Amino acid sequence: MSAAKKTKLDIEPKSDPEVEEDSENTFRHAETIHKEKLQALGIMSASLAHEINNPLNYSLLGLELLKQEGREMLASEFEGVLSDVEDGLLRIKHIVQDLKVYSRKQPESGEKEEFMVSDVIAASIRLISASSHNIQIITTLDTPYRVKGDPSSIIQVVLNLLTNSVDSINRKNASQPGKIDIIGKQSGDWYEIEVVDNGEGVDGETIRKMFTPFFTTKGANKGTGLGMGICREIIENHKGQIDIDSKVGAWTAVTFSLPMAPNH
């Protein structure tokens, strides 16, 4: 009598070292991205405190004015002061909401969600606004499309690009006003976002090194050299691409793509 054959159900599952290694690498990458995010948040903290303090102060002054003179004010004057108070409080609310989204840790599952491109760009601009008062930021987007990804990570990418642009413009110290253009357009099943500044620009050799870990053009104690490498990692995790073009002394343009959401 021949021995009974084992079916697939009789075979005990084995641990796959490669699967475990991939999982560990994914975890380490997520930790690196989150640490860079928190470090950037620490650098921005002083500027953000100032950005919150300003609307808080004029909101408090407005409330004090209403408390002391509100009874004698005309209706139009009362409503005007109240509107200023509301604007200040909403400004603070938006900053806090943006910080909550930005500081959120990337899901370990890697699950993506649908979000509006315009929302993450607006949040990024609000977070950088305290450091870019002397720079004009112009946003030109196609119809506000939805894309699929992790909004916290994409804010990190846009914020990093804006920070680099602000630094480049300030280093150039030119007589012409600083300007950053954020341009978004659909390209097939992808949405392309381009960040263009009129800063000092970089040469071809620098562009080739931009994604190298710990390479920075900001000088000692002014950058970790991880920002652009992490940006590329985030975009590639979204199955997209990121490219840099530049002209020394004139401009730099960084373009990245994200997958469109189904039924956009």
Asked whether 77 and 105 are in contact (CB, 8 A), the reply is no
Which two structure tokens, joined as six digits, stand for 130?
Answer: 């305290």
Task: Single out the residue of 235, 254, 232 nearest to residue 243, CA to CA.
Answer: 254
* CA 91 from centroid of its chain's CA atoms: 18
Which residue ranges make up each domain of the chain?
17-99, 112-259
Q: What's the predicted TM-score (pTM) here?
A: 0.66
Output the pLDDT for position 7. Answer: 36
Output the pLDDT for position 103. Answer: 65
Per-residue pLDDT of the chain (264 residues; tens, 9 = 90+): 444 433 333 434 445 554 455 555 555 555 665 666 666 666 566 666 766 777 788 788 889 888 888 888 888 888 888 888 888 888 788 777 767 766 666 555 556 789 999 999 998 998 888 778 889 999 999 876 889 888 888 988 999 899 999 999 998 876 788 999 999 999 999 999 999 999 999 999 999 888 886 667 665 555 544 578 888 888 998 999 999 999 999 999 999 999 998 876
Output the pLDDT for position 11. Answer: 38
In CATH terms, the superfamily for domain 112-259 is: Histidine kinase-like ATPase, C-terminal domain (3.30.565.10)
**54-87 b/e (C-beta count within 10 Å ≥ 16 → b):** ebeeebeebbebbeeeeeeeeeeebeebeebbee
